[in-house]
Amino acid sequence: MCKKTSLAILCAGLVVSGMATAADYQFTAESKPATDATKANNEAVYKRLDFANKTDFENTDKGFIAPLINNGDIDGVIDVTGMNFMQKKDAPPSVNPSLWRHAQLVNRGGLYKVSDHIYQVRGQDIANLTIIETNTGIVLYDVEYSTDSFKRSIELYEKERGKKPLQGVIISHSHADHFGGFGGIYAAGLATPEDIASGKIPFLAPEGFVEEAVSENVMAGNIMARRAGYQYGNVLKPGPTGGITAALGPVLANGASTLPLPNKTIAKDGEKVTIDGVEFVFYLTPGAEAPAEMVMYIPQWKALSMAEEVNHLQHNIYTLRGAQTRDASQWASYINSAIARWGNDVEVQFGPHTWPVWGNQNVVEYLKDQRDAYQSIYNTTIHYANYGYRPDDIAENARLPEKVFNKWDNRPYYGNTRNNLKSTYIKNLGWFSGNAAELAKYPDAARGERYVKALGGEEKVVELALGSYKEGDYRFTADLLNNIVAYNAANKEANYLMADALEQLGYQEETALYRNLYLSAAHELRVGGSVPNKLSTASPEVIAALPPEMLIAYISMISDQIKAEKLGNHIIALNMDNDKFILDLHNGVLNYVRLTNDMPAQKADVTVQIAKTDLVAVVAGKEKMDDLISKGKAKIDGDRGILQQITSTFDTNIKNDMNLVLPLQKANQIQ
């Protein structure tokens, strides 16, 4: 029962509202149209922004040469045609008009001429493929996410520009949508793995590239890939009530991705590399958009690429798929430094997402606008924090300069401004706001059960939530119902009503990732969970490509410590090809060190000689160590039983279809 306070008046009003309309409401798994509240919210957007400005539409089409092959569609990989339904149409009530406009800009593609020597294939994947024509061949700059997408993009380029020898590859940073398609280079016959491994064809990446790529895409790759599928809308059907865009591009392609290993690392600012007669100048920008990233300038053509540090949208300070939180102030400083270095000369800025900018004045103004957005986010957050505002309060109430954030290039299509403010607080001050009550907070399921009991049971909570829904307060509707959903997946009324509330929030959302996450969550609630997941960044092929020490780190991570704790303490000497490691199983934790010549000899309980490819097969569960020994592919000296016990602790059954809204399925729980 509600106590007689102002909260009780609100509570009673919600109950009355809910009871009055419950008979008219259909608790079903069907998608719902936009409500009157959503229609009014979206209609108001037209009054806030300059929709009459068509400059961006002119620039996205500038330099167009040819459309994507088969309209960009690749069966089972990407449906570009399906993501083009919004072209030359007015926004429906189920889509924020600003996001609809942005989708019209990025959900198109083809081969484009950036300048006399630079070409891009855009719209075949979430990232662009940039082809730089050098004296006798080409240099590839970022290679999309999917092998299949890359093959189709390079086929289009060669169809229009002719086949040219590959002279080099440059990867701007450590996010998979920029390097995952590397296997397409081999599949398209541009190079062999030996060409890259030997350095015959230079492959450049920033310092820390491999470590950071592995950290995101392998160590935490399973959960990140799952969240990415919701974030980018890969589980949604394209349409006015479904997927609209991934903001940086139409959608993240499905299909195989690869983890390439560079043969040259850019480790210092101002480093110059000449490839086939063209000089590239690099500057490192770690800690902004990616932990390992670099921008580049081509002096002879006055061409600048700021990698993903600038885009025609506001980016993420914290990405909802999960990753390290970025530094907004440092981000702004990198852009500011670029203006100082090249602002007097630059004539074109091109990047791995969205479209280029031409003309010195336009490029500099574009860079300044992007710089201002990130510096403003940082300054605002710290300014409000110093007054005592908490993260959520800053996100909801902070006042920001309209001249910065009402510009189309700074609109929150990919990075949400509220999220960026909150994330900047956490980056600088941590998740704790200073309120000790946060230290005592229960996990969602335990807290939800207690709230539901306090509010009078599940039926009463659904009534309250329905009243809130009818008033157009979809955020509170979802918040109320999450208390049930967090612990009880069987309450269909709660599931369906929460799905309907999230759906309306998605319809109103200007941020593509928020829209996709709202609608993907609604889908999960309606189908009862276990939504299929086609994305994987930690495939056996990727694991096989890990450098030796990172492979051992991965093995340490997947070792079940509770099982291993029962085995006692053991030392294992591992000789893997030409690399030697000491594995120290101690208190259930598998530690490791790579041996070097200056280290003394180590005493081990068991010594293992095995090829890396065979060890990968064991880790993937495709081979058993005993079978490899009997085949002569592995050799063991010492207590063979120890090794058998340790390999039995490897957890190779991690599933990738985990629920993100409903309680974690029993099959997905650690046993």
The mean pLDDT value for 512-521 works out to 97
- Check pLDDT > 90 for residue 536: no
Which one has a higher pLDDT value, 276 or 214?
Answer: 276
- Check pLDDT > 60 for residue 637: yes
Q: Given this model, what pLDDT does residue 540 score?
A: 73
Q: Given this model, what pLDDT does residue 257 score?
A: 82
Three-class DSSP labels, 544-603: HCCCHHHHHHHHHHHECHHHHHCCCCEEEEEEECCEEEEEEEECCEEEEEECCCCCCCCC
Q: Given this model, what pLDDT does residue 1 score?
A: 35
pLDDT per residue as tens digits for the range 57-69: 999 999 999 999 9
The mean pLDDT value for 586-594 works out to 94
* SS3 state at 499: helix
The mean pLDDT value for 43-64 works out to 97
Strands 303-305 and 348-349: parallel
pLDDT per residue as tens digits for the range 150-173: 999 999 999 999 999 999 999 999
DSSP secondary structure, 210-279, as one string: HHHHHIIIIITHHHHHHHHHHHTTTTSPBSTTSB---SSSS----S-------SEEE-STTEEEEETTEE
User: Bridge partners of 646?
Assistant: none
**Rg over CA atoms, the chain:** 27
**Spatial separation of the C-alpha atoms in residues 150 and 142, rounded to whole Å:** 10
Which one has a higher pLDDT value, 2 or 584?
Answer: 584
At residue 647 the predicted structure's pLDDT band, cuts being 50, 70 and 90, is: confident
- The answer to whether residues 211 and 536 touch, using CB atoms and an 8 Å cutoff, is no
Q: What angle do CA 565, 568, 570 make, to 5 degrees?
A: 115
Q: Which residue has the tokens 């398209």?
A: 188
Closest CA to 209 of 296, 285, 291, 147: 291
The mean pLDDT value for 78-83 works out to 94
At residue 108 the predicted structure's pLDDT band, cuts being 50, 70 and 90, is: very high
All residues at 6 or more sequence positions from 333 whose CB lies less than 8 Å from its CB, including other chains: none
Q: Given this model, what pLDDT does residue 50 score?
A: 96
**Spatial separation of the C-alpha atoms in residues 360 and 342, rounded to whole Å:** 10
Q: Given this model, what pLDDT does residue 22 score?
A: 63
**Spatial separation of the C-alpha atoms in residues 447 and 332, rounded to whole Å:** 39
Q: Given this model, what pLDDT does residue 543 score?
A: 82
The mean pLDDT value for 35-56 works out to 97
- Check pLDDT > 90 for residue 514: yes
**Spatial separation of the C-alpha atoms in residues 620 and 544, rounded to whole Å:** 10
Q: Given this model, what pLDDT does residue 255 score?
A: 75
Distances (CA, A) of 202 to 154, 189, 205, 298, 425: 19, 16, 10, 17, 41
pTM recorded for the entire structure: 0.90
Q: Given this model, what pLDDT does residue 6 score?
A: 38
* SS3 state at 122: strand
- Check pLDDT > 90 for residue 502: yes
User: How high is the mean pLDDT of the chain?
Assistant: 93
pLDDT per residue as tens digits for the range 546-571: 889 999 999 999 899 999 999 999 99
**Spatial separation of the C-alpha atoms in residues 270 and 260, rounded to whole Å:** 24
Q: Given this model, what pLDDT does residue 532 score?
A: 87
**Spatial separation of the C-alpha atoms in residues 283 and 266, rounded to whole Å:** 8
Structure tokens at 347: 């004539």
- Check pLDDT > 90 for residue 506: yes
- Check pLDDT > 80 for residue 198: yes
Closest CA to 304 of 368, 364, 262: 364
* SS3 state at 305: strand
**Spatial separation of the C-alpha atoms in residues 482 and 184, rounded to whole Å:** 43
**Spatial separation of the C-alpha atoms in residues 339 and 321, rounded to whole Å:** 31
Tell me whether residue 178 is exposed, middle or buried, using C-beta atoms within 10 angstroms of its C-beta: 0 to 12, 13 to 18, 19 or more.
buried
- Check pLDDT > 90 for residue 274: yes
Structure tokens at 622: 């495709």
* SS3 state at 485: helix
- Check pLDDT > 50 for residue 175: yes
